[in-house]
Amino acid sequence: MDRCGAIFLCLCLLMLQNAAAEPRKELRIMKNMEAPRSRSSLSFPGQLHQLEQLLLNTSFPGHNLTLQTATIQSLAFKLSCDFSGLSLTSAAVNRVPQARSQHAMQFPSELTREACKTRPSELRLICIYFSNAHFFKDENNSSLLNNYVLGAQLSHGHVNNLRDPVNISFWHNQSLEGYTMTCVFWKEGASKQHWGAWSPEGCHTEQPSPFQVLCRCNHLTYFAVLMQLSPALVPAELLAPLTYISLVGCSISIVASLLTVLLHFHARKQSDSLTRIHVNLHASVLLLNITFLLSPTFAMSPVPGSACTALAAALHYALLSCLTWMAIEGFNLYLLLGRVYNTYIRRYVLKLCVLGWGTPALLVLLPLAVKSSVYGPCTIAIFDSWENGTGFQNISICWVRSPVVHSVLVMGYGGLTSLFNLVVLAWALWTLRRLRARADAPSARACRDTVTVLGLTVLLGTTWALAFFSFGIFLLPQLFLFTILNSLYGFFLFLWFCSQRCRSEAEAKAKIEAFSSSQTTP
């Protein structure tokens, strides 16, 4: 009897030892994940998936299990199909030693509804918290609020499209002035150079107080708050009118530019080099308006990422082409006014076409060949203020994602072309004023001069320089002026094209009448 008791006692001790050894395996993996060699190697995703599977399948007494290392904390919960919701706060669980700011996750009762339809058994919810962001580095080396990444996963399938969102709160004690806070999740496999990338899909960002960021997301994965420098945010109440103005203005410009191009091809034999340059500018504006209107639709629709990348590159190319042809118009105006009689360039229009269409193509293909991720879905944050706090809406367009490419090949290129055309415009107005001063009746030409000034202003695209006044008290007026003037840019060019054509026909008719009258005069 004593021998049987001793054997039974040994078996119990072995079972307790095995049960105690299971959590140590998870701890060993968590410590391996913290090792410096795991931060830059491809082993971390595999270790993370292994940790998730162990936590989903491990057995433990009671209703929950908590494991933690220096920068990682893991929690596992047993859930039943009568789950009524769960709230977790960093103050209620064992804190990670290096964690200084609080965080919380609130799960709705809807969480287990789909899983219980197929597996009405005990479910497992696991949460893995990281207090160091080096595990989730993307290609942009994005900055995260508090360097926190909070993850959650439910056994028996993925959880998405929740009607009641999962609420993730991040508290902080730092100033966020000049930054845009965006709730994001880690999208595994979204990057070729890294094992994933941050995406805002399915998440809504709010700031109930100056020291809290609240993320409302309709799925389970790894969440964080992306910090991006933002000198100026667009108010949410202006989104609808600006969108409507852009839609109407770009549609009118598309029709006007298309009509101009068709009229040119109809009377191609009668066109000169000046008209051909105008038509190329119209073609670039037509391409710009079409790609701009398609960009938000492609960014929000469930299309392959390569389609949004291609559209973003096409939109950037159209913008660069439009800016280049504006500069070509300025150069051509300088030749017309400054060197009228002694300038001849062989195959002038052909060389300008190579410059106007080839240079932008080279500037787009070069960064695209170096890193294809410079183009793709780009998130724009729009803030919405209310009495108790601030919320953010995220809209996506297919556009330039790289800050360096945007600074150099969008703002820098646009700034140089705008400055060049402003100088040409000022010189052209001074030249016209000097020529008009020699006329006998300058007052009779006041109306024509006004039309000429307005036409040259539109032709050279100087209204695009308004993009550099999006700060301080100029932000709201600039938004509406820039949107109205530049969305209707193609229509204004059409009016200038028609006025010049009517003027040419009137001058030709006057010459014919003068010639006829001189022939009939004895």
What mean pLDDT is reported for the chain? 79
Q: At 282, list the tokens.
A: 């119209």
pLDDT band for position 393 (cuts 50, 70, 90)? low
pLDDT tens, residue by residue, 479-510:
888 899 899 999 988 888 887 777 777 766 76
Burial of 229 (0-12, 13-18, 19+ CB in 10 A): exposed
pLDDT band for position 377 (cuts 50, 70, 90)? confident
The domains of the chain are located at 22-229, 242-293+319-367+406-513
The arithmetic mean of pLDDT across residues 115-130, rounded, is 81
Partners of 98 in beta bridges: none
Q: What are phi and psi of 64, to 5 degrees?
A: -150, 160
At CA 220, angle to CA 217 and CA 224, rounded to 5?
65
- Domain 22-229, CATH 2.60.120.460 — does that match? no
Closest residue by Cα to residue 169 from 207, 196, 195: 207
User: Could you report how far apart the first and last alpha carbons of the chain are, in Å?
Assistant: 149
Which secondary structure element, helix H or strand E, spans residue 30, and what is its range? helix 2-34
pLDDT tens, residue by residue, 52-94:
888 888 888 888 888 888 888 999 998 888 888 899 987 655 4
Partners of 198 in beta bridges: 186
Backbone angle region of 92, left / alpha / beta, with phi > 0 → left and psi within -120 to 50 → alpha: alpha
Q: What is the DSSP letter of 354?
A: I
pLDDT at position 451: 63
Which secondary structure element, helix H or strand E, spans residue 312, and what is its range? helix 305-338
Closest residue by Cα to residue 72 from 122, 17, 147: 147
Task: Give whole-number Cα distances, 142 to 34, 133, 234, 309, 443, in Å.
Answer: 20, 9, 22, 20, 61
pLDDT band for position 99 (cuts 50, 70, 90)? very low
96-105, 156-165, 191-200: which is most confident: 156-165
The CATH code of domain 242-293+319-367+406-513 reads 1.20.1070.10
Distance (Å, rounded) from C-alpha 284 to C-alpha 261?
11
